[in-house]
Amino acid sequence: MTDIFEVPSPDNNLLDKAEQLRLASIKTSQTNNNERIRALNLMADSLEKNSKEIIDSNFEDYKKAEIKGISKALLSRLKLSKEKLNLGIEGIRKVGDLSDPLGQIQIKKELSKGLILERKTVPIGVLGVIFESRPDAVMQISSLAIRAGNGVMLKGGSEANFTNQAIVSALKKGLQKSNIDDNAICLLTSRKDSMAMLNLEKFINLIIPRGSNELVKFIQENTGIPVLGHADGICHLYIDDEVNLDIALKVALDSKIQYPAACNAIETLLIHKSIAPAFLKKAIPIFNSNNVKLIGDKKAVKLGVAFEANYEDWQTEYLDLILSIKIVDDLEEGIAHIQKFSSKHTDGIITENISNANKFMSEIDSAGVFHNCSTRFADGFRYGFGAEVGISTQTLPPRGPVGLEGLVTYKYFLRGEGHSVDDFSSGKSIYTHKDL
Amino acid sequence: MTDIFEVPSPDNNLLDKAEQLRLASIKTSQTNNNERIRALNLMADSLEKNSKEIIDSNFEDYKKAEIKGISKALLSRLKLSKEKLNLGIEGIRKVGDLSDPLGQIQIKKELSKGLILERKTVPIGVLGVIFESRPDAVMQISSLAIRAGNGVMLKGGSEANFTNQAIVSALKKGLQKSNIDDNAICLLTSRKDSMAMLNLEKFINLIIPRGSNELVKFIQENTGIPVLGHADGICHLYIDDEVNLDIALKVALDSKIQYPAACNAIETLLIHKSIAPAFLKKAIPIFNSNNVKLIGDKKAVKLGVAFEANYEDWQTEYLDLILSIKIVDDLEEGIAHIQKFSSKHTDGIITENISNANKFMSEIDSAGVFHNCSTRFADGFRYGFGAEVGISTQTLPPRGPVGLEGLVTYKYFLRGEGHSVDDFSSGKSIYTHKDL
């Protein structure tokens, strides 16, 4: 996306689509739980029925992409096998099984006799989702959006255009049999439209980008619409002096190599100086045999780390089998390093000292603070949320792995019998402020 | 603020202050409930002890402002009488009485044997508050910030500089006797610094502007830091055909005249055509006798409204005794008008028809949707939140009147015994996802 420097104004065609989507999203917000569950099942049925067209469309996309010579990694993400499609369909039914996020009463109180305040969860409205490659994201995001009573405007990578169109066409056919207006799902296919989406403040309430750091950064810097997501995932693991070395080795290795391209994999290992010789003696051969390139500060190099780190390393998300290592004098220095360089995604400590663990978890203000376990657990599925729309590294909620709960907001409902504020100013009425 | 078009970079002096504040805010986040309550009481004691200096400083500010010829409204907001100061002090003690917003467990579950996930409320970090005139805001905001474990950077209007300095000096003296680092409150006095504050993304987690629409808009457009607040408050009241005319009149009048300069006062009244003649016949003389200037569409003018409205009127926040009136054919037209022009603050319906009320409250996506009561109830104190930092018109939480609850966020704490994700991939471990 780095070649796009201008966000175009939406043209009339896009504005029409956005208006239809907005109206459909209002209708969707009025549906009840059973109607939304039924809609998801009809969406899943329709995908099953149209699976041949979808797989064929994906084959077209794949052939084109191969000729174009796109990278192997992108090709593998683009490929939608029958198994992947079935997993996507199963995922939609599972989202139907999640409990209704709407209509949850968060506050209910009597402000005064006959004047009742309620705060209830309601849909956000319209989600704008921009994602790269993975056509399975269309199924996941659409089902989460509808489950939470929202409309959704989708824009996938152009290399998956045929696949995305086939999937959305099937989803809409499913919706047509349900009580939900099929305009609640809207697919954009041109890059111009997807950029203009960033200017649809009046129609879109939340942008969810799913893709490279560059994509996310570009979107964050070029829209006034709130963005749910994260650009960098610079996660740390600090190994304290009082540790069980086996746990430290196991967790450090898992945090780095279990899936190095994930945002929740660690980029930097901080090691207390008094445990560093013993730890690195065991760890270096293991990392080497797992093809992890180790880069360290001067002290780490003295202890056998092959390459010396420069300042840039502490703020780099490698997304690869590369790990930077720093030896620190104490817990405080470890915390200070993380406070400076963390992208506030997930940071962990390995220690047998509970008060050190508590200090670390309290002073590090990342979305996830972990003790004696792999940073790779920072994930909506592993947290048991059933499905995930993304991981937010912002300070304000929703932060961390965001499930269905992140696709709703709340509003205040106040019901009276002709109550005026003046009656309270004059002393004629009084506030009772009683929880109901 | 409209004369400022450039946001300067923070200078070294400001960066030093911000760093001290950041470190103090981390220490504050570690304090327990009793320590924070004690700090608030010491802050209140110190204000009492230094009340003469504060009142004297305010007198200096007032004299200067009078000579400068600032408006009467501003002068009256600037004035800090002994009574207002005492109310502020009492307010601080009341914030101490509110229940602790920190450490609330929102989620607690076992992900697998020995792997426990908790989501708990934590402070946001550092708040940046920019406000105009009212020196009482310093006391209110500082106490709310400290109560929720945050640090706060404050910038008030320059016309209240002496007062603000005297208040902050007293608050800091109070904090010095407590367990909270007095660097947790930081006052800026130059306009250059207050604008540079908008570029302190690394130090400030949330900006809270309290002032004119122009100030809020300027801030929203010139910072990458999340902003809690609202610019416009264009609130509507829709009067349905099936109404109790007395209720309709009473609520319409209260919503407009009880305090017309408030953001929760209505700017537009929408009236169902079949009730409009009867309603306006009674309402026009009452509004006239209360000096409310009525502006209406053609149909309203035919029914006696004095002035004709233009398009601009439907999107104007008068903040004054002016009311625009539109006659609509039905509920749907009323809802559509509000969906188009509402600033999503608070919109109300007057009706005896429950299903119409429900439709209205469900289809209007404002922070507050009211039935048969005045829009002026949209307020943190009236909602029973004890204190209010502001009212947010954004779609995502916190929205509506925001109390102490809006000054906290949450984070995920995961504690294990050496758990690795690989053990789950290989089938060696299984997820239990059991609520605790």
Q: Considering A221, A254, A284, which residue would you say is the last residue of a domain? A: A221
Strand B293-296's sheet: what is its strand order?
A434-435, A105-112, A115-123, A408-419, B368-373, B346-350, B235-239, B266-272, B322-328, B293-296, B307-308
Cβ pair A121, A144 in contact under 8 A: no
Q: Respond yes or no on whether the N-terminal peptide bond of residue B226 is cis (omega within 30° of 0).
A: no
Cβ neighbours of residue A86 under 8 Å, at least 6 residues apart?
none
Tell me if B420 and A246 make a contact (CB, 8 A cut-off). Answer: no
What is the distance in angstroms between the Cα of A117 and the nearest Cα belonging to chain B?
8
Backbone angles phi, psi at B179, to 5 degrees: -85, 5
Q: How confident is the model over B15-29, as a mean pLDDT?
A: 96
B285 with B362, same domain? Answer: yes
Chain B residue numbers touching A357 (CB-CB < 8 A)? 415
Identify the pLDDT of residue A77: 85
Backbone angles phi, psi at A414, to 5 degrees: -120, 125
Chain A residue numbers touching B361 (CB-CB < 8 A)? 413
Identify the pLDDT of residue A134: 82
Q: Which of A384, A411, A419 comes nearest B367 by C-beta?
A: A411
The CA distance from A287 to A305, in Å, is 10
Q: Is residue B252 part of a domain?
A: yes
Q: Which two tokens stand for residue B428?
A: 């060696």
Nearest Cα residue in chain B from A348? B414
Q: Is residue A315 part of a domain?
A: yes
Identify the pLDDT of residue A144: 95
B49 with B120, same domain? Answer: yes
Chain A residue numbers touching B112 (CB-CB < 8 A)? none
Q: Which burial class, exposed, middle or buried, applies to A375 when counting CB atoms under 10 A from its CB (0-12, 13-18, 19+)?
A: buried
Cβ pair B338, B238 in contact under 8 A: yes
Q: Which two tokens stand for residue B213?
A: 């629409």
What is the distance in angstroms between the Cα of A300 and the nearest Cα belonging to chain B?
24
Residue percentage of chain B with pLDDT more than 90: 82
Which of the residues B109, B358, B419 would you substitute to probe the A interface, choosing the one with the greatest number of A C-beta atoms within 10 Å? Answer: B419
Nearest Cα residue in chain B from A247? B418
Helix-, strand-, coil-residue percentages of chain B, each rounded to 5: 45, 20, 35
What is the distance in angstroms between the Cα of B63 and the nearest Cα belonging to chain A?
32
Q: Which of B390, B382, B383 is nearest to B406 (CA)?
A: B390
Q: What is the reported pTM?
A: 0.92
Q: Is residue B78 part of a domain?
A: yes
Q: How confident is the model over B265-275, as a mean pLDDT?
A: 98
A37-60 as b/e: b if 16+ CB within 10 A: bbbbebbbbbbeebbebbbebbee
Cβ neighbours of residue A372 under 8 Å, at least 6 residues apart?
A247, A251, A348, A349, A350, A351, A357, B415, B416, B417, B418, B419
C-alpha torsion sign, points A389, A394, A400, A405: negative
Query: What is the tally of structural domains in chain A?
Result: 2
Tell me if B373 and A115 make a contact (CB, 8 A cut-off). Answer: yes
Tell me if A399 and B420 make a contact (CB, 8 A cut-off). Answer: no
Q: Which of A117, A251, A384 comes nearest B383 by C-beta?
A: A117
Among B123-137, B231-245, B277-291, the minimum mean pLDDT is found in B123-137
Type of residue numbered A283 = A
Q: Is residue A433 part of a domain?
A: no
The CA distance from A224 to A188, in Å, is 20
* Residue A182 DSSP code: G
What residues in chain A have per-residue pLDDT under 50?
1-4
Tell me if B373 and A411 make a contact (CB, 8 A cut-off). Answer: no
Q: Which of A258, A411, A418 comes nearest B368 by C-beta?
A: A411
Chain A residue numbers touching B366 (CB-CB < 8 A)? 411
Q: Which of A181, A225, A183 is nearest to A201 (CA)?
A: A225
Identify the pLDDT of residue A95: 93
B243 with B202, same domain? Answer: no
Tell me if A206 and B396 make a contact (CB, 8 A cut-off). Answer: yes
Among A271-285, B78-92, B132-146, B364-378, the minimum mean pLDDT is found in B132-146
What is the distance in angstroms between the Cα of A425 and the nearest Cα belonging to chain B?
9
Q: Is residue B421 part of a domain?
A: no
Chain B residue numbers touching A371 (CB-CB < 8 A)? 413-416
Helix-, strand-, coil-residue percentages of chain A, each rounded to 5: 45, 20, 35
Q: Which of B362, B373, B417 comes nearest A414 by C-beta?
A: B373
Q: Which of A326, A319, A307, A304 is nearest to A256 (CA)?
A: A319
Q: Which of B109, B205, B395 comes nearest A395 by C-beta?
A: B205
Identify the pLDDT of residue B7: 79
Identify the pLDDT of residue A5: 54
B206 with B127, same domain? Answer: yes
Residue B4, pLDDT > 70, answer: no
Q: Is residue B5 part of a domain?
A: no
Q: Which of B199, B234, B201, B194 is nearest to B215 (CA)?
A: B194
Tell me if B206 and A395 make a contact (CB, 8 A cut-off). Answer: yes
Pairing of strands B408-419, A266-272: unpaired
Tell me if B382 and A418 make a contact (CB, 8 A cut-off). Answer: no
Tell me if B374 and A247 make a contact (CB, 8 A cut-off). Answer: no
Distance of CA B185 to the CA centre of its chain: 20
Residue holding tokens 């006062």?
B265
Q: Considering A190, A221, A252, which residue would you say is the last residue of a domain? A: A221
Nearest Cα residue in chain B from A249? B418
A212 with A345, same domain? Answer: no
pLDDT tens digits, one per residue of A92-129: 999 999 999 999 999 999 999 999 999 999 999 999 99
Identify the pLDDT of residue A94: 93
Give me the count of residues in chain B.
Answer: 436
Q: Considering A221, A252, A285, which residue would you say is the last residue of a domain? A: A221
The secondary structure element, H or E, covering residue A84 is helix A82-97
Q: Is A291 left (phi over 0), alpha (psi -120 to 50) or beta?
A: left
Tell me if A115 and B377 make a contact (CB, 8 A cut-off). Answer: yes
Q: How confident is the model over B190-203, as a mean pLDDT?
A: 88
Q: Where are the beta strands (DSSP E) in A23-136?
A: 105-112, 115-123, 126-131
Cβ pair B268, B341 in contact under 8 A: yes
Q: How confident is the model over B233-245, as a mean pLDDT?
A: 96
The CA distance from B194 to B208, in Å, is 12
Q: Is residue B419 part of a domain?
A: no
Which of the residues A411, A413, A423, A428 would you substitute to probe the B interface, choosing the one with the greatest number of B C-beta atoms within 10 Å? Answer: A411
- Calculate the CA dihedral of residues A182, A188, A194, A199 and round it to 10 degrees: -40
Identify the pLDDT of residue A3: 44
Chain A residue numbers touching B124 (CB-CB < 8 A)? 395-396
ipTM > 0.90? yes
Tell me if A384 and B431 make a contact (CB, 8 A cut-off). Answer: yes
Chain B residue numbers touching A237 (CB-CB < 8 A)? none
C-alpha torsion sign, points B45, B48, B49, B50: positive
Q: Which of A299, A322, A326 is nearest to A311 (CA)?
A: A326
Identify the pLDDT of residue B5: 54
A195 with A242, same domain? Answer: no
Residue B220, pLDDT > 70, answer: yes
C-alpha torsion sign, points A7, A9, A14, A20: positive
The CA distance from B198 to B10, in Å, is 9
Identify the pLDDT of residue B230: 78
Tell me if A367 and B412 make a contact (CB, 8 A cut-off). Answer: yes
What is the distance in angstroms between the Cα of A264 and the nearest Cα belonging to chain B?
11
Nearest Cα residue in chain A from B117? A383
Q: Which of A195, A142, A198 is nearest to A167 (CA)?
A: A142
Q: Is A106 helix (H, G, I), strand (E, B) or coil?
A: strand
What is the distance in angstroms between the Cα of A29 and the nearest Cα belonging to chain B?
8
Alpha helix locations (H) across A202-297? 213-221, 245-257, 276-289
Question: What's the CATH code of the domain at B76?
Answer: 3.40.605.10
B70 with B143, same domain? Answer: yes
B270 with B204, same domain? Answer: no
Give me the count of residues in chain A.
Answer: 436
Chain A residue numbers touching B345 (CB-CB < 8 A)? none
Cα A227-A224-B226 angle, rounded to 5 deg: 65
B104 with B75, same domain? Answer: yes
Pairing of strands A115-123, A408-419: antiparallel
Tell me if A244 and B378 make a contact (CB, 8 A cut-off). Answer: no
Question: What's the CATH code of the domain at A356?
Answer: 3.40.309.10
Tell me if B226 and A395 make a contact (CB, 8 A cut-off). Answer: yes
A241 with A124, same domain? Answer: no
Chain B residue numbers touching A244 (CB-CB < 8 A)? 418
Q: How confident is the model over B384-402, as a mean pLDDT?
A: 89
Which of the residues A104, A232, A351, A419 would you substitute to probe the B interface, choosing the one with the greatest number of B C-beta atoms within 10 Å? Answer: A419
Q: Which of B340, B332, B343, B352 is nearest to A415 (CA)?
A: B352
B279 with B364, same domain? Answer: yes
Identify the pLDDT of residue A182: 98
Identify the pLDDT of residue B224: 86
Q: How confident is the model over B201-209, as a mean pLDDT?
A: 93
Q: What distances in angstroms separate CA A130 from CA A77, A223, B77, B135, one per listed residue?
A: 16, 13, 47, 45
What is the distance in angstroms between the Cα of B57 and the nearest Cα belonging to chain A?
31
Q: Which two tokens stand for residue A413?
A: 């409902």
Q: Which of A368, A396, A420 comes nearest B414 by C-beta?
A: A368
Q: Which burial class, exposed, middle or buried, applies to B67 when counting CB atoms under 10 A from its CB (0-12, 13-18, 19+)?
A: exposed
Q: Is residue A204 part of a domain?
A: yes
A16 with A164, same domain? Answer: yes
Domain boundaries, position A352: 235-377
What is the distance in angstroms between the Cα of A377 and the nearest Cα belonging to chain B?
6
Tell me if A111 and B383 make a contact (CB, 8 A cut-off). Answer: yes
User: What are the CB-based long-range contacts (under 8 Å, 24+) for A102-108?
Assistant: A102/A33, A102/A148, A102/A149, A102/A408, A103/A33, A106/A410, A108/A435, A108/A436
